[in-house]
Amino acid sequence: MATYKTVYKCRACGTTSYKRLMERQASGAWQPTGPYQCCGCRNVFDTLRAWWGEPKGQTDFRPSQMPV
């Protein structure tokens, strides 16, 4: 069985799944509210990029410029 590694995972807990938060409208229909919730730690994120972004405290790696 193949195992896959993904970069799309929660920056806080490493879970690879999320869900859209929903609310019931006055008409009775369910509609997404906009934010996303991690299925592991239950943290709420405004965007998917914030969900899978770099973990807090990780340094930003920038390769040095090579002289020309």
Is residue 60 a part of any domain in this protein? Answer: no
> Could you give the number of structural domains in the chain?
1
The pLDDT value recorded for residue 6 is 79
- Residue 12: burial class (beta carbons within 10 Å; 0-12, 13-18, 19+): middle
- Provide the domain limits for residue 32: 18-52
Question: For the residues 28-50, what does the mean pLDDT come to?
Answer: 92
Residue 38 falls inside a structural domain:
yes
> Residue 4: inside a domain, yes or no?
no
Q: 64: pLDDT confidence band, cut at 50, 70 and 90? A: low
Q: What is the pLDDT of residues 4-24, one digit of tens each?
A: 777 789 988 989 999 999 999
pLDDT exceeds cutoff 80 at 56: no
> Is 63 within the bounds of a domain?
no
In a domain, 22, yes or no: yes
**Would residue 39 count as lying in a domain?**
yes
Rounded Cα–Cα distance for residues 13 and 34 (Å): 21
pTM of the model: 0.65
